[in-house]
Structure 1
Amino acid sequence: MKLRVAILGTRGIPNHYGGFEHISEYVSAGLVKRGHSVTVYNSHSHPYQSNTWNGVNIRHCYDPEYLIGTPGQFVYDMNCLLDARRQKFDVVLLMGYTSSSVWGWLYPHKSTIITNMDGMEWKRTKYSKPVQQFLKYAEKLAVQYSQYYISDSKVIQAYLADKYNIQSSYIPYGADVFTEQEREQINPAEASKEDYFLLMARMEPENNIETILEGFNNSNSDKTFKVLGDTTNRFGRYITEKFKKDERIEFKGSIFNTPKVRQLQNNSYLYFHGHSVGGTNPSLLEAMASEALIAAHNNPFNKSVLNTDAFYFSDATEVRDLIENVQRKDTEQTMVKNNLNKIQDLFNWETVVNQYEEFIVECYKNSNYKRVVPNLG
């Protein structure tokens, strides 16, 4: 069965922003290779302005975020939905719900609606209490107006079952194994083997960047600490100012060159993953696929992926202890190898795209175009 599928809820592809854009690249191109017609909605201001990408149709919709900030995301999502209503897609796949579920009554009535339920956005500490309350409401609307649901983490899957009594399909993100060709491209001048620590994240409080850098700042390490991420936002400026006197800390900015990121991950002495909210994080999987030794924030999301194959921290003191004491011996190499095996067996893109295709086709076959509204309490 060949379907007409639309993917909404992202800023667009190819990825210049984050996780949902990243997975949308792979899923859209993968579905096209399997014979489906796929359309991804892009912001009109996206750097990529062509109407097709790797066989995927691109529709550009007006996005006023650059003019009015966050409210512009709601206008952009509304514009995408209004356009999608005219296209008669078989399936509409919504990546997240933050600024789209308020328009649930605009969801295309004759399309099968599937929502990737994201990762408890209302837990993010960057949001004020009123915003967190709104996000809980938006989550409830997403459950109400969607027909089928995807969870990218088993923790999220369990939460949705408990909170809303709904069944969601667990489909994680994926990652590509670090290839020999990528290894050969390593520039020793840019990244000597294991002479630095590494962190890659959006500059947001819940990613524990301050905790990690505080621990490093208090350590006696003679290694450098490379930080990848855009520091032009408020929290980014705060972090760079706070640690500007530590010459060992290098803020490298955002890097979207995947081979270069993979090289940096592979060469790092220890890769710090501080994400504490959300589902299966793409940068964590990429670090595993790049054969990095990982230290992760101690929370159920990270543990559900890494299990015992990582070091864990909860505060700056524990980070400092890791900085000063972690070795690179047989036990650590086994941890790296185990994580690579997980990528090859569970989190590879071929498997992920197959799961998306199977679920989308199944949902379409079972759809009666009526919303399934569970008891929301």
Structure 2
Amino acid sequence: MKIAILGTRGIPNYYGGFEQFAEFFSVYLVEKGHEVYCYNSHNHKFQEKTFHGVNIIHQHDPEYKYGTFGQFIYDYNCIMDSRKRDFDIILQLGYTSNSVWYFLLPKKSIIVTNMDGLEWKRTKYSKPVQQFLKFAERLAAISSDYLISDSLGIEKFLKEKYNKESTYIAYGAHPFNNPTEEILKQYGVQKENFNMIMARFEPENNLDMVLEGVSISSDKTPILVIGKHDTKYGEYLKNKYKNFNNINFLGGIYNLEHLNNLRYFSKLYFHGHSVGGTNPSLLEAMASQALVIAHNNDFNKGILKENSYYFCNPEEVKNILETIKKSDNLPMVQNNYQAIIKDFNWDKINGQYLQLLDDCLARGKKK
């Protein structure tokens, strides 16, 4: 098959979950003998024309100049380029800024869209933007030939809201069992004597809730806060907690070996995400054998089940900090690790995606 991947800032990953998936899946497709193209932002750090056999197509991305509006122009540029390439399948990752251009997608290519989470629920968006995102979600749902849900909750939502069938395929993670304690020295922490939280700096990821719990707790274990914080919300959080010496803002870390070791050796790993489907960083924490402390919602519970402690306010975070230790909860850690091996490993996930693309090509475009 000749396959294009649209909707990400590009590979290799320097940004987030979709980019991480695009990196792993595109290389997997090449190894299986397919011709693969991935669209990259023109100012992506990686400027080569191929990445492990994946063809890279750089397109102008004015997000740096216009903010979110620039994403629409970038997606427009990618879609217009795709019209010249005669792709068998176009795999779109997300719909936020590309679904408005659905009528420009090449007519012969089969359009497969991963519907991501319920983007319009994100509190960072104003009411008008949330209304637009609902509109964009509907456009993607009705205009795509085939849909992918990354959680059972999203699959159910698409069926109930739009009467659209979708294929449930979660994200994956690589099981991690080769820790190197030496890496901790670079971050000034010691084995099981630090906590961590990793997320984009957005309100619905509940960093503020977790850090508020840290600030009122008698437990002064350092917490590493990982994620790009050079944003308005990031500045707000850094200013709010600047007087707490045990709250350390590290910025974004994209070295997977370092992240895996930090998660593995952490005392508690907080996962505050409350919107979306199967979150990649949650699976990576499970794969790194961290003790996950998760925000209490159906998305997280659907993955972690009883193998986590849950919180929904700062007081519960405080109580967990003061009473819970990783060493006392190793069965939970191992249950999550086995779930990665059995259900969420990348080989299985990539295989499910490839099988779906094969099936879509065999069935052809929707009538």
Structure 2-normalised TM-score?
A: 0.98
Q: State the SS of the aligned residue for 1:86.
A: coil
Matched, 1:74 2:72: yes
Corresponding letter in the other structure for 2:37: T
- Matched residues in 1 for 2:252 and 2:350: separation? 27
Task: Give the counterpart of 1:343 among 318, 331, 340.
Answer: 340
Q: Which residue of 1 aligns with 2:233?
A: 235
Q: Which residue of 1 aligns with 2:118?
A: 120
Corresponding letter in the other structure for 2:335: N
Q: Which residue of 1 aligns with 2:177?
A: 179
* Residues 248 and 187 (structure 1), Cα distance of their counterparts in 2 relative to 1, 3 Å cut: closer
Q: Which residue of 2 aligns with 1:289?
A: 287
1:185, CA displacement in angstroms?
Answer: 5.5
* Residues 184 and 55 (structure 1), Cα distance of their counterparts in 2 relative to 1, 3 Å cut: farther
After superposition, residues 148-167 of structure 1 pair within 5 angstroms as: 148-167=146-165
Matched, 1:142 2:128: no
Q: State the SS of the aligned residue for 2:4.
A: strand
- Matched residues in 1 for 2:270 and 2:21: separation? 22
Q: State the SS of the aligned residue for 1:87.
A: coil
- Matched residues in 2 for 1:278 and 1:80: separation? 25
Task: Give the counterpart of 2:192 among 191, 194, 210.
Answer: 194
Corresponding letter in the other structure for 1:351: K
CA shift digits 1:311-352 (9 cap, x unpaired): 00000111001011113345x100000000000001100001
- Matched residues in 2 for 1:346 and 1:270: separation? 23
After superposition, residues 202-281 of structure 1 pair within 5 angstroms as: 202-281=200-279
1:184, CA displacement in angstroms?
Answer: 6.3
Q: Which residue of 2 aligns with 1:303?
A: 301
Structure 2: give runs of 5+ residues left out of the alignment. Answer: none
1:183, CA displacement in angstroms?
Answer: 3.2
Task: Give the counterpart of 2:354 among 341, 349, 357.
Answer: 357
Structure 1-normalised TM-score?
A: 0.95
Please tell me the root mean square deviation across aligned C-alpha atoms, in Å.
1.1
- Matched residues in 2 for 1:187 and 1:245: separation? 24
Identical counterparts, % of pairs: 51
CA shift digits 1:145-190 (9 cap, x unpaired): 101000111111111111111111111111011132x436544564
Q: Which runs of 4+ in 1 moved over 2 A?
A: 182-191, 327-330
Q: State the SS of the aligned residue for 1:47.
A: coil
- Matched residues in 2 for 1:17 and 1:354: separation? 24
Corresponding letter in the other structure for 2:349: V
Aligned residue pairs, count: 366
Q: Contact 2:173 / 2:284 at 8 angstroms: preserved in 1?
A: yes
Quick one: higher RCO (CA 8 Å, sep 6+), 1 or 2? 1
